[in-house]
Amino acid sequence: MALSCALLAVLLFAPPQDFLAEGLKALDANQPAAAEPLLRQAVQSDPSDFSAHFNLALALSLQQKDNEAIQELRRTLELKPGLYQADSNLGTLLLRNKRAADALPVLKEALDSQTNAGQKSPRLSLLYAQALYETGDVVQAGQYYRAAAELDPKSAVAQWGLAHSLLKQSKPADAAEHLRAAALLDPQYKDGLLEVAAEYEKSKMIAEAVAIYREFPENAAAKERLGQLLVANGNFAAAIPGLEAVVKESPSLANRLALADAYKMNKQIDKAIEQLQLAVVSDPANYDVRMYLGRELRDQRKFVPAAQQFAAAAKIQPESVKAWNELAAVLVVNEDYAGGLAALDRVRALGKEVPGDFYYRAISLEKLRQPKPAMEAYRQFLATDGGKMPDQEFLARQRIRIIENELSRR
């Protein structure tokens, strides 16, 4: 009986469990899930204990339970207004949840608390700068990013943020300076220079954009854009090596066409045609590529393969007057008069004949020994051309006289 009374006395006078202390131990051991129920008990035991609310918020945030954590931090600030750590953590969570406008006043309060205490925090300056940037105040954001960089010269994030605020202000040269500083501190930030190059392009500062793209010889997208810029600005010879490398790494249709353009403008027609042929193989149903290749073959007087491309284009787009006209022209020039007439008939059916169509029709009909329809076609050509093709008009008049004489002798 004495033992039972002694045990009862121990139970009655044992100190209560310290949930807050045990919760803090779990947090220190990086066990937020274990800390959470203990800290909830601490809050329940004393709802006015701001420390319990603050640490419960920390345990919740470490488990990505941000909405509950935000509520606990707001309760903390109700109990302890101006608590720097609570403002800082609340601002961080609001930013993490894309609520920059809500974060601004909270972070400003934390900054003011630090300033009043004679302290400066690069982390707080960064957070406040981010909130300003995300709410569109890029000028003031730049000021706080700059302050963070001055407080922590090794902060690549501060340099990166300052650079982007300058980009938003259309100051690419200044932005490039700070992106280079960020890249020196952390190489992963170097790709940010590509954004500067894009801004240079918008500002028509092509030479500056080209200079940046040249700094990325291993970046396929940068090499592709470099080649495109060089081609667009007439520097075809300089563009070709980079475009060749891009096509080798990524033989996309766009890349092949860019290389074909560069070859063509650099008078390397055979290589241009080769790229266009490969482009057709990669996308056989592409009307524009078929027409491009057909015209290049036509200009090299390779009429049969040119006709094949124009015929394929006309099959892809049967309503294309251009395709049928091109097909008719190469067939007639290659003395396939029956095929040429068939293509011209398709143009006529579409109701889109032009003077040149009448001229090619006249030649074809005459060669096929149909003098009367040929003479009529020549007359239609003369009636519609209006002096645009004087050499052909002269020949048409000559052929009409010859046909008339031949018919009169019959």
Kindly give the confidence (pLDDT) of every residue in the chain, 410 residues in length, as a single tens digit, with 9 standing for 90 and above: 344 444 444 444 444 568 899 989 999 999 999 989 999 999 999 999 999 899 998 999 999 999 999 999 999 999 999 888 999 999 999 999 999 999 999 999 998 888 887 788 899 999 999 999 999 999 999 999 999 999 999 999 999 999 999 999 999 999 999 999 999 999 999 999 999 999 998 988 888 988 898 888 788 888 888 888 888 888 888 888 888 888 888 898 988 988 998 898 889 999 999 999 999 999 999 999 999 999 999 999 999 999 999 999 999 999 999 999 999 999 999 999 999 999 999 999 999 889 988 999 989 998 999 989 888 988 998 899 888 999 998 998 998 899 888 888 76
DSSP code per residue over 41-79: HHHHH-TT-HHHHHHHHHHHHHTT-HHHHHHHHHHHHHH
pLDDT for residue 59: 92
Count of C-beta atoms within a 10 Å radius of residue 144: 26
Structure-token match 């049969």, residue found: 304
Q: How many Cα atoms are found within 13 Å in the side-chain-facing hemisphere of 76?
A: 24
Number of neighbouring beta carbons within 10 Å of residue 104: 19
Q: Determine the distance from the C-alpha atom of residue 185 to the mean position of all C-alpha atoms in its chain, rounded to a whole number.
A: 27
**Beta-carbon contacts of residue 128 (< 8 Å; ≥ 6 apart):** 91, 104, 107, 108, 111, 144
Do 355 and 390 touch, CB atoms closer than 8 A? no
Helix (H, G, I), strand (E, B) or coil at 204: coil
Per-residue confidence (pLDDT) for residue 410, from 0 to 100:
67
DSSP 8-class letter at 187: G
> In the Cβ-directed half-sphere of 159, how many Cα atoms lie within 13 Å?
22
User: Nearest 10 degrees: CA dihedral of 171, 177, 178, 181?
Assistant: 170
The two tokens of residue 14 are: 């044992």
What confidence score (pLDDT) does residue 214 get? 84
End-to-end CA distance of the chain: 150
Whether the model clears a pTM of 0.75, i.e. scores above it, the answer is no
Of 194, 133, 201, 192, the C-alpha closest to 168 is 133
Closest by CA to 296, choosing from 335, 261, 334, is: 261
- Tally Cβ neighbours within 10 Å of residue 115: 12
Neighbour tally for 163: CB within 10 Å? 29
Answer whether 340's CB lies under 8 Å from 309's CB: no
Which residues lie below 8 Å from residue 12, measured CB to CB, with a gap of 6+? none
Question: Taking each helix axis from N to C terminus, what angle separates 50-62 and 32-45, rounded to the nearest 10 degrees?
Answer: 160
Cβ atoms within 10 A of the Cβ of 1, count? 5
* CA proximity to 350, closest of 379, 314, 381: 314
Contact 154, 185 (CB under 8 A): yes
What angle is formed at CA 202 by the lines to CA 190 and CA 159, rounded to 5 degrees?
30
DSSP string, 262-298: HHHHTT-HHHHHHHHHHHHHH-TT-HHHHHHHHHHHH
Nearest to residue 204, comparing CAs of 245, 233, 169, 178?
Answer: 233
The residue to which tokens 């396939």 are assigned: 336
The reported pLDDT for the residue numbered 281 is 96
Residue 188 DSSP label: G
Helix (H) and strand (E) counts for the chain?
24, 0
